[in-house]
Amino acid sequence: MTLLQQPVVIFAHARSGSTSLVRSLNLHPDLNIAEEPFHPKYGLWHPDERSYVETIVDNTSLDLALEEIFLKYDGIKVLDYQLAENLYSELLQSNCKVICLRRRNVLKTIVSNLVAAQTSVWHITDRNLDNNKKYEELQPLDFREIQNIFNYHAELQSTYRPLILQKPPDLRLCIDYEDLYTDNLVQNRSVLRSVFSFLGLLMPETPEIDFYLNPASSRIMNPHIYLKVPNIGEIEERFGSDDSGWLLRD
């Protein structure tokens, strides 16, 4: 039986380190968090489970799906594009604990996502010789698509973050990718320990955690790969800033 008094929702955008966070948390013997049960392919990934997103059309059906999921899992990870806005509002305002994970460097988030869409390398476990060769065949990224995603991220921040911040402090935790996945493993473990503490659990002292917290072993994108995008210099010049982030600067 789980030790959690309330289920947890990890709410994140793509390429924010949410998979590594979930897998780090699942190293605890009393945690079992479902990864993206509202993804359209969830039923294919887990043939013994339902494709929940096909059943969710309103708040009532969302609540029924959550009730079923939380009988099997202690929490879920959801990405910001998988449900309609009104359903996310219902989810984020529920009595669940919410961990909001974002990446301050939005430009890296966007470019990393678009590169992953071309290569099908979404997680470190997707890396293999055939997929790695796809980095040599990257096509230029579309400026309009990048701008549209920037606008989308800005809308998300103005829509969902205030809902999360309205929750009582003991029901919400906001963390940033840049604080959790640094080159300093001591700091990374400290931030992760605060996540476990938020859940009322002690962080397990297992070396496996360092695999997920260490950018050297878990990070997919790096400047070497960014430079393989044919128009990366133009992207950096047009969209890079101290506010939105840079691709090739620290």
Reported as a single tens digit per residue, the pLDDT across 8-61 is 999 998 889 999 999 999 999 999 999 999 999 999 999 999 999 999 999 999
Structural domains of the chain sorted by starting position, each given as residue range(s) with its CATH number in brackets: 8-239 (3.40.50)
Per-residue pLDDT of the chain (250 residues; tens, 9 = 90+): 456 789 999 999 888 999 999 999 999 999 999 999 999 999 999 999 999 999 999 999 999 999 999 999 999 999 998 999 899 999 999 999 999 999 999 999 999 999 999 998 887 777 676 777 889 999 999 999 999 999 999 988 899 999 999 999 999 999 999 999 999 999 999 999 999 999 999 999 899 999 999 988 878 888 889 999 999 999 999 999 999 999 998 6
Task: Determine the Cα–Cα distance for residues 32 and 28; give it in Å rounded to an integer.
Answer: 8
Cβ distance 139 to 230 under 8 Å?
yes
Give the 3-state secondary structure of residue 62: helix
Which 8-state DSSP code applies to residue 36?
A: -
pTM, full prediction = 0.91
What pLDDT score was predicted for residue 215?
85
Total residue count of the chain as it appears in this document: 250
Q: What is the pLDDT of residue 1?
A: 40
Q: Are 89 and 162 in contact (CB under 8 A)?
A: no
Whole-angstrom distance between the N-terminal and C-terminal Cα of the chain?
Answer: 44
Q: What are phi and psi of 215, to 5 degrees?
A: -55, -30
Q: Which of 92, 94, 77, 70 is nearest to 2 (CA)?
A: 70
